[in-house]
Structure 1
């Protein structure tokens, strides 16, 4: 019978290969013990001494390299302790010192490796292929299609013009590498695909999610001839575009390059314990020399150094930081490197992106403005019933709001969507029109544009030829935002800053609501980087979620990515990833960092205090070398037990409640929330509604099934 190899052996083998010094020292110590039990003490001493001196030589080489690089560590004390114990014949003590050194180094490495998760590649989101039109030219972009039916054959397009354009080129496209696309090439971007390169739109219109690039939650509508940015996500209509920049010069590629540059410029962390290396080493040598001089016995020097081995310093900080990282992981916060916790403990400035970070990143209904005898539920219910036949990105928000109120959608006898303008549907003989004010005004009398606050847009509703009211939408601030900022202030964060691509009015409105101390609006990714670099109170923590936040997350002292719905680039650039859609976890990370460092310092000082007491006793001749090595193990045990307190929350709370969960796609967008089209079919963003981009006359109409039918 074949006995399968236990799976447990594989992890053990991996650990042995990863930490060969620990495995070798354990094997050597076991061999020495076997030799002693076999009655061969001389062979045991020679073997142990050779092994210990070899390890000391290895450590000395690394120590010399660090000294030449200007880094002073505590390894010099361990090397001296190993050599001195070998010279005075305390070979067992030398082996124990080697084991403690190897174990401490391995534990520190394991602590960092456990927290650093293998995230997806930074370039994962970069488009690799493009659908190039054979023989395409800019003239091809003049096709406007005409009236038609948008159905399954149109691949989910919401305009017949786009449907005809896409259909006429079926079988006339070739998939090529994005790097092979040249300026002037015509590309097809299918529904839900990422725009591969910068260009201009050739189709009549298109809706794009630029959230991963610019930080504005509201969808952006583009008309023919308007620019498209690589990295933006196409909506539900296939579109054609003409390339204006090669891959290396496109927007997304520039952001990726900026992330790499910022990442490479970040200085590495120095071990916390090394700060105590020089005074502790000097004290150990002084006490050892004093014991040797006073007693005249060189063994006293070795005995002092045995109990002075820096294992409490080597082990205390890594164990505490490992505990802190484990504690953070249980709270939904992944800290990539142990040193990040030390930076978190000293944060003085916290900077935040707006959309998807301080806000939920999805437009939500904030009010229903009624007209005449119509009630709020009636206006919302009819609007949602019509929107179920629309492919527009705001339709889902309207339908969600109706479901929240328990409203039932009515089936339409007929429904037609007019691209970029709105939708018209008939219910029990009544025509319902939903969309932009000019579009609704063509079918309903008395349309009055709503007064909007910063960051709001309006969707207008007409019923049976009369203006029924308007639905006011906004990307609301997170429920936990104000609480999170208050908690950060309690933790010693004195400055809070918003960095956003939004218009100033919108940014100031959210900042006032959240309680931020500073606002930097209309920022592109390079502007955010310079803003963080110029902040005077350090260290600076930056919290963001989009690709546009990736460069600033990389350049900040601590970058925190909202990873639940955030972008790949943001997660890769950040030092901390929040895996829950909860902003309060940023304060949790700071709180855990402070507790972790506090516990680590307590453990270090406990180890130093006990070691100093043992050194004094050893200098006086009360602690032999082997007894000192074993006593040092007790010191290590006390240090480790105290350091493990970092696993618990202690008297500190681990953060506030999760707050409301984000219920939709992450947000983002374009600088200037009031720009044309940023309100999609609404009246605009940030003030009174902008005029609709043309009237409904000549708009391309498409009959659609309700969303419930399409999804089924």
Structure 2
């Protein structure tokens, strides 16, 4: 069991030989044909023993040694000393244990396997006023696709229809569907839970979010946790201990039955069974919560995190400007200012202009279509709104639109928060107001940091490229242990490395400039829903939901998986050792030892599967 097995399809057949032989032997014994019983049991043992020997040879050729050797020795020695019943029971228990392990791992992988199995193979593309079904690999950026009800969105894109209702539960763990309106981004991998809609592909399938998730899942399934490697090394120690106890029993009593009983109790070993099942179950449960951990190593390290280094923009904050204050000139109200500014900004693609339009829509304001628009890129835009000449933009741009007597700007600008963006509005040559936008903290950040400290995170440090005054203003009251500002990407790496003195470090970020620090951290976590591809590639874990609070369940799941794995190992090895000692003193027969060990194996596997459930 220590070596990968390629014979999974014949497992039921291998179980069938000893099971059928065991039943046939008891039937022959009941009918009085005693002379054939032992032969039937011996022959029924051979297919499992031969398959096991092939496995051992493959493992040894790769330099891997495990308790498969003990299984082979127990079956062989039982046959040699005339304990055919014990041999066939061991064969049945061994084959059944392997099948049970495969079943348990398959059950533990269910969330990750579900992500892989959902990958769409085809797409419906609009072409020459007709629809054609094509392989998803042929989708190119700019293609217009029809996403039918119940279908998986094959590529990232922009919604071309008025409304889409999407089920993102398989990606994010959120049970409630979300709505998208025309022009909004749609993430690949979501299920169309509403009416059919059109989508304009933003990139090919291979470069889309879902394809990246599939690659990460496949990498996670191939990985091997340090704890699993440690279990492999312990297996060798346990093998030596087993042979030593069996040899002592033989030397002390000269009774081969006791030696066989010792070997049987050690077949197979919960050390090898429990750890991979618990680790895989942890990865699967994290995926269910929208946390894609790339492998067992990252999961195990996450359980021991002591320091957290976090980026600001897009991580602690939403990463986008939102309106935080509106100052209207005399005779106007806030809604007047935002309505006129947003009506004019409908003609601009600037990110600040889009934020103003979004704010007006949130307030339910009716916007008018502007005319005679003139935009100066990066400065502002002017035009006719509601039959009045309006201008929206920065200080210099709007001041130039004012009458000479009105070019004194509002002095309350000094009261705006550090890092805020101020948009000015002029109407008919007069100052009409100003709108203050800022990138605010995500909701619940303070409570999140408190929970992380409760999980054993001793230091929480902000590492940002923003100015010091902006960083201090945004994080005021959060109780961070340190704030590092004005950092370049390589300086963020130094911050991560310096924090290692307190223990393993987790770094959370979302931008391209965070990628080096994510790679340098013991565990790098990328905001994958909207973060940069470079960050997701460099990170050890990706949050598929654009919310930082998923870090808490990630750490909780990692710690639970590690704890349950260790519980299973210690309990299983302890019980096996007691069983071997009992067998050495003659208190267990080979058959009883085989049944006892199988009970231990079932118990530790079921215990490892507890990771799939909540705490």
2:42 paired with 1:45: yes
Report if aligned partners of 1:333, 1:579 keep a CA contact under 8 Å in 2. yes
Which residue of the partner structure matches residue 591 of structure 1? 556
Secondary structure (helix, strand or coil) at the match of 1:602 reads: helix
Which residue of the partner structure matches residue 630 of structure 1? 595
Which residue of the partner structure matches residue 178 of structure 1? none
Which residue of the partner structure matches residue 410 of structure 2? 448
Residue number among 399, 405, 424 corresponding to 1:460 in the alignment: 424
Superposed displacement of residue 489, structure 1? 0.7
Residue number among 193, 211, 226 corresponding to 1:269 in the alignment: 226
2:347 paired with 1:382: no
Q: Distance in 1 between matches of 2:233 and 2:453?
A: 28
Superposed displacement of residue 273, structure 1? 3.3
Q: Please, which moves more after superposition, 54-63 or 419-428?
A: 54-63
Superposed displacement of residue 608, structure 1? 2.6
Superposed displacement of residue 510, structure 1? 3.1
Structure holding more helix per residue: 2
Work out the number of aligned pairs and report it.
489
Residue number among 488, 499, 504 corresponding to 2:452 in the alignment: 488
2:348 paired with 1:393: no
Residue number among 502, 516, 526 corresponding to 1:561 in the alignment: 526
Residue number among 336, 351, 364 corresponding to 2:322 in the alignment: 364
Q: Distance in 1 between matches of 2:225 and 2:564?
A: 22
Report if aligned partners of 2:14, 2:95 keep a CA contact under 8 Å in 1. no
Deviation by residue 1:563-589 (Cα, 9 ceiling, x = unmatched): 211233333332222111110101210
Which residue of the partner structure matches residue 425 of structure 1? 383
Q: Distance in 1 between matches of 2:604 and 2:71?
A: 18
Q: Distance in 1 between matches of 2:575 and 2:240?
A: 17
Deviation by residue 1:315-371 (Cα, 9 ceiling, x = unmatched): 222232233223222222122323332211111111222221111111111112334
Which residue of the partner structure matches residue 547 of structure 2? 582
Let me know the Cα RMSD of the aligned residues.
3.6
Change in 2 beyond 3 A, CA 1:482/1:467: same
Report if aligned partners of 1:86, 1:94 keep a CA contact under 8 Å in 2. no
Q: Distance in 1 between matches of 2:15 and 2:570?
A: 30
Superposed displacement of residue 407, structure 1? 2.4
Residue number among 487, 498, 520 corresponding to 2:462 in the alignment: 498
Using the size of structure 2 for normalisation, the TM-score is 0.70
Deviation by residue 1:81-124 (Cα, 9 ceiling, x = unmatched): 455445445432442464266447756975679748779xxxxx
Secondary structure (helix, strand or coil) at the match of 2:324 reads: strand
Which residue of the partner structure matches residue 239 of structure 1? none
Q: Distance in 1 between matches of 2:19 and 2:333?
A: 88
Which residue of the partner structure matches residue 579 of structure 2? 614
Using the size of structure 1 for normalisation, the TM-score is 0.61
Answer 1 or 2: higher relative contact order, Cα 8 Å, separation at least 6.
1
Secondary structure (helix, strand or coil) at the match of 2:337 reads: helix
Report if aligned partners of 1:545, 1:566 keep a CA contact under 8 Å in 2. yes
What aligned pairs does 1:3-152 form with structure 2 within 5 A after superposition?
A: 19-34=5-20, 37=24, 39=36, 42=39, 45=42, 48-49=45-46, 51-52=48-49, 55-56=52-53, 58-59=55-56, 62=59, 66=63, 77-78=70-71, 80-88=73-81, 89=83, 90-96=86-92, 98-99=94-95, 102-103=98-99, 106=102, 115=112
Change in 2 beyond 3 A, CA 1:555/1:299: farther
Residue number among 537, 542, 562 corresponding to 1:572 in the alignment: 537
Q: Distance in 2 between matches of 1:293 and 1:51?
A: 29
Q: Please, which moves more after superposition, 476-485 or 309-318?
A: 309-318
Report if aligned partners of 2:71, 2:267 keep a CA contact under 8 Å in 1. yes
Residue number among 349, 354, 362 corresponding to 1:404 in the alignment: 362
